[in-house]
Amino acid sequence: MTVLTHTASGWTIGTGKPLSVIAGLNVLEDEGLALEIGTELKRICAALGLPYVFKASFDKANRSSIKSYRGPGMESGLKTLASVKAKLGVPICADLHEPGQAEPVAEVVDIVQIPAFLCRQTDLVVATAKATAAAGGIVQVKKAQFIAPWDTKNIVSKIGEAAEVGVILCERGSSFGYNNLVVDMLGIAEMQKLGCPVTIDATHAVQLPGADPRTAGASTGGRRDGVSIIAKSAIAAGADGVFLEFHTDPDKALCDGPSCLPISDAEGLLTTLKAVHEVVAA
């Protein structure tokens, strides 16, 4: 049985526990929007009895174009995340990109996320593990689009050698030809064999990298209607948690709008995912 508990908040994920939810915005736009999305998701998860973490990025360093919106940056972004955390009373998840960011991020963020493209960067992995362990947090690693599920054992091993800290692995699809991703649902069980809970990033799994027709390929496209399909399939395959991104108006989102869902869809989708998870757990 693999269960992780965030000591400060009591948030749990793993075998025998309710479906865990990590959800919010793709990237911070302003505090008002973050609070609006977080408040609604907290309400829904509380009503459904699902452990909830608010997520948002302060910087999206991996962008198709230098002109793409990246976010407010670390200093301003961490202030916003700390404010959201205090006002909502929920744990926070955010990603980082450089080893020097590890300590300041871990001071605010409860689940520190290593992006998929950076999950093999040893210096980043080690710094994140050490800083997150010292702060009492949990590390979530996005599985890269270019590695096999079982090869995440090397990342888990690096983290374990650097510090004693809980690790979540996140499935987000694998590169499949040009401008496309697919999710191998068998990979979820393979990663769970490493002793880690596994989440499904259903939002990024429907991306079409470099294929947004609105910008002639200068940004990432997506298939929004596939998010619920990927999420339901992964939970049916045994995933311990779900990672989702919402917006009040996805078509006007400053980053990855084609892949995120309207917040009005959240309650129906999470209700369905809870039901699927309970059937699988039974």
* Catalytic positions, written as ranges: 26, 60, 256
Instruction: Give CA–CA dist 242/266, Å, rounded.
Output: 12
Centroid of chain to Cα 41: 15
Distance (Å) of CA 152 to CA 129, 140, 148, 149: 15, 12, 7, 6
Instruction: Give CA–CA dist 240/251, Å, rounded.
Output: 30
- 67 CB burial (10 A radius; 0-12, 13-18, 19+): exposed
Instruction: Give CA–CA dist 72/222, Å, rounded.
Output: 23
Instruction: Give CA–CA dist 65/217, Å, rounded.
Output: 9
Q: What 3-state DSSP class applies to 50?
A: coil
